[in-house]
């Protein structure tokens, strides 16, 4: 017959063995894998800030890099032709989702895989690019946020005219590669009509790679415009400092699509808040991790828009910004 002490030791040993068996039987914690396919590298302060906002939202939902989350980052650095190879590289890593921040990158990811979910973080015209059939039920593997940058173009021309009433000839710097030609032509026709109502003539110059910037500046000088409008392209964003320097040198009031261009030195910007858009994208990632199919998730639109004005640049251009416009601005940089 066992004495009490022997019984307790034996029982403890049996319980410990059972606990070890249970621990061995439990599946390992799931490690989620995300691919980030963007334009500027993480060393760019704007990119770093935006991805930090993305990281924080995921962390709030229980996904922590280095613990239960792996993030693979790839950047085209202003060269759209790099996207297909980068997307293919990410697909080979067997990811759970790919997050894209530009139209060309999203198109490359779609071409590389039809099964890995893709979350767009602010693609301007996903329908026009042929990425999805419609925003309400995108179907397939793509969902996310359509940032409406193209639709905001007339508003930017209006704000520019409000700030500088004497503006008549305006050069638009953009990149139309990948857009449906018929849809693009219709949009441009509508933009021309809206501009004409404001007494503005639009002139368009393509900037398809950072290496083309010098040629673009020469074309702008030949056109002798009164101002510039920057289309919402990754290239314009990556060249924001060069564009700001050129615009100030040539005394050209310039409006873009994000406040980081204003921080770099252009006069104004109006567009979706990039940090808010990436936060929305993180919510989509969480939904997909929890079982949602991307094709069933309606593509949302931005919820926050920002008007920023650089008064230092205005002074350098010899401009006095109307008080009514300053009062409307969300951010005024002194």
Q: Domains plus CATH for the chain?
A: 32-148+273-303 (3.40.50.2300), 150-272+306-333 (3.40.50.2300)
- CA–CA dist 53, 46 (Å, integer): 11
Strand partners, 73: 36
- CA–CA dist 130, 249 (Å, integer): 39
Residue 25: pLDDT band with limits 50, 70, 90: very low
In this prediction the pTM is 0.83
From first CA to last CA, the distance across the chain in angstroms is 89
Residue 40 clears pLDDT 90, i.e. is over it: no
| Count of C-beta atoms within a 10 Å radius of residue 239 | 23
- CA–CA dist 91, 154 (Å, integer): 38
CA angle 280–145–103, rounded 5-degree value:
130
pLDDT attached to residue 138: 95
> What's the mean pLDDT in 242-263?
96
Pair of tokens at residue 254:
């310039």
Residue 33 clears pLDDT 90, i.e. is over it: yes
> What's the mean pLDDT in 10-34?
62
Residue 16: pLDDT band with limits 50, 70, 90: low
pLDDT attached to residue 238: 87
Residue 79 clears pLDDT 70, i.e. is over it: yes
The long-range contacts involving 127-136, CB below 8 angstroms and separated by at least 24 positions, are 128/179, 128/180, 128/183, 128/184, 128/187, 129/103, 129/178, 129/179, 129/180, 130/180, 131/103, 131/106, 131/107, 132/299, 135/298, 135/299, 135/301, 136/298, 136/299
pLDDT attached to residue 23: 46
Chain segment 111-124, per-residue pLDDT in tens: 999 999 999 998 88
- CA–CA dist 15, 104 (Å, integer): 58
Identify each DSSP E strand in the chain by its residue range. Answer: 32-38, 69-75, 97-100, 118-123, 142-146, 169-174, 201-206, 227-230, 254-256, 268-272, 305-310, 331-333
CB 204 within 8 A of CB 171: yes
3-class DSSP state of 286: helix
Strand partners, 206: 174
pLDDT attached to residue 24: 47
């Amino acid at each position: 017959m066992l004495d009490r002490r022997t019984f307790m030791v034996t029982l403890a040993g049996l319980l410990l063995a059972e606990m070890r068996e249970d621990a061995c039987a439990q599946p390992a914690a799931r490690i989620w894998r995300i691919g980030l396919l963007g334009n500027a590298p993480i060393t760019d302060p704007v990119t770093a800030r935006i991805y930090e906002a993305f990281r924080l939202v995921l962390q709030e939902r229980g996904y922590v890099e280095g613990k239960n989350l792996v993030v693979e980052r790839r950047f085209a650095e202003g060269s759209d032709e790099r996207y297909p190879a980068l997307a293919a590289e990410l697909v080979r890593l067997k990811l759970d989702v790919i997050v894209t921040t530009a139209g060309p990158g999203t198109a490359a990811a779609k071409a590389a895989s039809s099964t890995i979910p893709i979350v767009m973080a602010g693609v301007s015209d996903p329908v026009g690019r042929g990425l999805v059939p419609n925003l309400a039920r995108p179907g397939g593997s793509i969902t996310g946020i359509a940032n409406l940058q193209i639709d905001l173009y007339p508003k930017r021309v209006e704000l520019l005219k409000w700030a500088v009433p004497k503006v008549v000839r305006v050069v638009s710097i953009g990149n139309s590669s990948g857009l449906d030609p018929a849809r693009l032509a219709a949009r441009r026709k509508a933009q021309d009509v809206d501009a004409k109502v404001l007494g503005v003539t639009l002139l368009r110059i393509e900037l398809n790679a950072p290496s083309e910037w010098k040629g673009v500046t020469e074309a702008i000088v030949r056109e002798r415009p009164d101002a510039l409008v920057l289309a919402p392209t990754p290239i314009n964003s990556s060249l924001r400092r060069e564009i700001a320097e050129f615009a100030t040198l040539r005394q050209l009031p310039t409006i873009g699509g994000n406040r980081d261009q204003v921080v770099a030195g252009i006069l104004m910007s109006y567009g979706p808040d990039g940090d808010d858009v990436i936060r929305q994208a993180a919510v989509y990632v969480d939904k997909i991790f929890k079982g949602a199919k991307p094709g069933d998730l309606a593509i949302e639109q931005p919820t926050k828009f920002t008007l920023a004005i650089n008064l230092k640049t205005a002074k350098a251009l010899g401009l006095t910004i109307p008080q009514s416009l300053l009062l409307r601005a969300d951010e005024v940089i002194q």
